[in-house]
Amino acid sequence: MSRLIDRGLEQLSKLLFKMGDLAEKAVSLSFDCYLEGRDVNQRVQILSETLVLLNEEVEKKAIELIARYQPVAHDLRTIISYIKIAYDLSRVGRYAWDITFVYKRLDVKKEECEFPRIQPEKACKKVLEMVRTSMKAVKKHNVELAKKLAVMENDVDEMYYGYIDKLLEQPATTKCIISNLLFIRHLERIADHACYIGESVVYLTKGERISLR
């Protein structure tokens, strides 16, 4: 028999899934911007702002459920985790927007600011995979899938620090150094938030606080 709180939890989960789709789209577009030189800043800005609004909606709904039903144990952990996941998705959207904003603000020219001897495509692919994996873990409440994010995040960190070392070796304009450095830093931060989502999945499923970073 379904409980009164179950409908509210289902509504929260649907909001999260919607946010996950929008966050993935924002990240994908931001990578297209940096790797292909596409001007998608306005589109990503709209996605980012929408994610902020949805995050507020999740918080409001979650507080309402807590006040109305006074949940305990697994239900309370689920609501707390959903609040955290919604925030992390809003931050993913913001970092995606930051990527396109910097590209536009500095008037970066793809042919002028390429990564010599560096393959950012590999990092982009890995980070996008992390975002997708984190949301799959949320949808399935899959702890093992969430824990896989730790290995993926280590790969991103290695690429991040390697890119920094190589950027220091490259003759480039200040504009290119700044834009490239911010780009790889934003990639690393998106990867971190994907791990935070994975940590929330472990908490809501098993009640354990772990670090995947």
pLDDT at 117 over 70: no
Q: What is the mean pLDDT of the chain?
A: 93
| Structural domains in the chain plus CATH codes | 4-206 (1.20.58.220)
Total-model pTM: 0.95
Question: Tens digits of per-residue pLDDT, 6-43?
Answer: 999 999 999 999 999 999 999 999 999 988 889 999 99
CA atoms within 13 Å, Cβ hemisphere of 96: 35
Question: Tens digits of per-residue pLDDT, 181-203?
Answer: 899 999 999 999 999 999 999 99
Closest CA to 103 of 158, 33, 155: 33
Residues ≥6 apart with Cβ < 8 Å to 49:
none
